[in-house]
């Protein structure tokens, strides 16, 4: 999606990915290599003027050996803070950003006195992986056996997100606040709706906290900032993704400038675009069926393509797996009730199975 926006402005993107058939390779020159392959990274560095990344789990020390740090946005310093969730929480706590209570734990027995809690792996977690809810001592059998920390089990009213964009000149743009609803299956995003149904004062507070967090990082790029609103009215930072984010996919159809175009603008020192939302939107993930493994077959596409205001994005992944994210769908409509109605129909109609 970055590459699609880059092409509009006549920029070329080169990707480095271990999969020769990665989705971006449909429209980019793809250098096939693992992210710690020094020789391929050298070749990659010679061919590009600026570097960004779309995942956090890369070897910073290897990158530093090959690519000049002033060529990479967001910076490796930002990435180093973000990669370790415990380090990230400490950083924001010290900067005065509101976060849930958290504590490093040395062993599982130490967790007992704090139950109920959420246990999170310090590194490697994503899309619900590396996170477990521990309600009682019986649940401790499910505890993560890796470097981790615990967090208070927040009494959540809403899970919220906002996209923040900041360039090298310190100019900042912030998008509307998104309401996120998660599925119990794999703790993956079920759908998001925007604008969120919140008091205006809370929306402003959420946006201000998100901007403050990105400025505290001195971040340059596009950032997905996820937060909790608890039942006491507290707004708490959950975590930040230093890249275009799932919670901002709706911006392609619903905003004057998409998060992906903003990313290209930041990387090429072009002025930031308007973040104005022109129509309410809802985004659904397209996930692999629970029993699917193999070449993907998309059942129900014809029926949902007959609906007005429905935009399908299939990523081109060659293999479907259970709950693997295969794409997303954005629905736009001025009537929020119709957004929900169409989303329910799509969830019941579209299935990604395998042959």
Three-class DSSP category at 176: coil
Percent of the chain at pLDDT above 90?
Answer: 91
Q: What is the per-residue pLDDT across 225-268, written as a single tens digit (0 to 9) for each? A: 999 999 999 999 999 999 999 999 999 999 999 999 999 999 99
User: Where does 218-258 have alpha helices with state H?
Assistant: 251-254
- Cα separation, 101 vs 234, whole angstroms: 12
**How many residues are present in the chain?**
355
pLDDT one-digit tens code per residue, 105-140: 988 888 999 999 999 999 887 666 789 999 999 999
Report how far residue 281's alpha carbon sits from residue 340's, in angstroms, rounded to the nearest whole number: 10
Section 92-110 average pLDDT = 94
Q: What are phi and psi of 338, to 5 degrees?
A: -70, -35
pLDDT in tens, 40-57: 999 999 999 999 999 998
pTM of the model: 0.95
Report percent pLDDT > 70 for the chain. 98
Query: Looking at residue 73, what DSSP letter applies?
Result: S
Grouping H, G, I as helix, E, B as strand and the rest as coil, residue 317 is coil
- Whole-angstrom Cα Rg for the chain: 20
Q: Which uninterrupted H or E stretch holds 300?
A: none
Q: What is the mean pLDDT of the chain?
A: 95
> Which H or E run contains 177?
none
Q: What architecture is the 156-354 domain classified under in CATH? A: 2-Layer Sandwich (3.30)
Q: What is the structure's pLDDT at 128?
A: 64
Position 190 confidence tier, pLDDT thresholds 50, 70, 90: confident
Pairing state between β 281-287 and 325-332: antiparallel
CA distances from 6 to 16, 18, 27, 163 (A): 16, 22, 10, 19
Start and end residues for every CATH 3.30.1490.20 domain found in the chain: 101-152
| Residue intervals in the chain for CATH 3.30.470.20 | 156-354
Distances (CA, A) of 11 to 179, 259, 267: 33, 17, 11
Under a CB-based contact definition with an 8 Å cutoff, are residues 8 and 257 in contact?
A: no
pLDDT value at residue 187: 61
Q: Where residue 185 falls among pLDDT bands split at 50, 70, 90?
A: low
DSSP for 75-101 reads -HHHHHHHHSHHHHHHHHHHTT-----
Q: For 2-72, which CATH class?
A: alpha beta
Half-sphere exposure for 132 (CA within 13 Å, toward CB): 18
For residue 176, pLDDT over 80 is answered with yes
What pLDDT, on a 0 to 100 scale, did the predictor assign at position 181? 87
Q: Which fold has domain 101-152?
A: Dna Ligase; domain 1 (3.30.1490)
Q: What is the pLDDT of residue 129?
A: 76
Q: How many other β-carbons are positioned within 10 Å of the β-carbon of residue 179?
A: 19
Domain limits, CATH 3.40.50.20, in the chain: 2-72
């Amino acid at each position: 999606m970055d590459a699609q926006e880059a092409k509009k402005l006549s920029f070329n993107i080169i990707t480095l990915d271990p999969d020769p058939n990665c989705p971006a390779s449909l429209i980019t020159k793809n250098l096939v290599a693992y992210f710690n392959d020094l020789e391929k990274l050298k070749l990659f560095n010679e061919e590009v003027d600026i570097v960004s990344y779309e995942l956090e789990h890369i070897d910073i020390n290897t990158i530093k050996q090959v690519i000049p740090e002033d060529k990479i946005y967001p910076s490796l310093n930002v990435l180093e803070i973000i990669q370790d969730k415990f380090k990230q929480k400490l950083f924001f706590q010290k900067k005065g950003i509101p976060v849930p209570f958290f504590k490093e734990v040395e062993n599982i027995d130490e967790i007992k006195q704090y139950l109920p809690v959420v246990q999170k792996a310090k590194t490697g977690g994503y899309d619900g992986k590396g996170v477990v809810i521990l309600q009682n001592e019986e649940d401790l059998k499910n505890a993560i056996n890796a470097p981790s920390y615990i967090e208070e089990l927040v009494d959540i009213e809403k899970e919220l997100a906002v996209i923040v964009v900041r360039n090298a000149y310190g100019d900042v743009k912030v998008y509307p606040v998104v309401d996120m609803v998660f599925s119990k299956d794999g703790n993956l995003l079920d759908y998001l709706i925007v604008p969120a149904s919140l008091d205006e004062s809370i929306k402003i507070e959420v946006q201000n906290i998100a901007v403050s967090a990105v400025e505290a990082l001195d971040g340059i790029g596009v950032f997905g900032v996820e937060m909790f609103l608890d039942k006491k009215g507290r707004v708490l930072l959950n975590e930040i993704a230093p890249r275009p984010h799932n919670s901002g996919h709706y911006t392609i159809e619903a905003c004057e400038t998409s998060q992906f175009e903003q990313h290209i603008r930041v990387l090429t020192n072009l002025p930031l675009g308007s973040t104005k939302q022109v129509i309410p939107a809802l985004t659904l993930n397209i996930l692999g069926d629970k029993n699917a493994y193999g070449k993907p077959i998309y059942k129900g596409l014809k029926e949902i393509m007959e609906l007005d205001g429905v935009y399908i994005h299939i990523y081109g992944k060659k293999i479907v797996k259970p709950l693997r994210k295969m794409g997303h769908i954005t629905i736009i409509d001025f009537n929020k009730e119709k957004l929900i109605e169409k989303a329910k129909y799509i969830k019941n109609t579209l299935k990604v199975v395998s042959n």
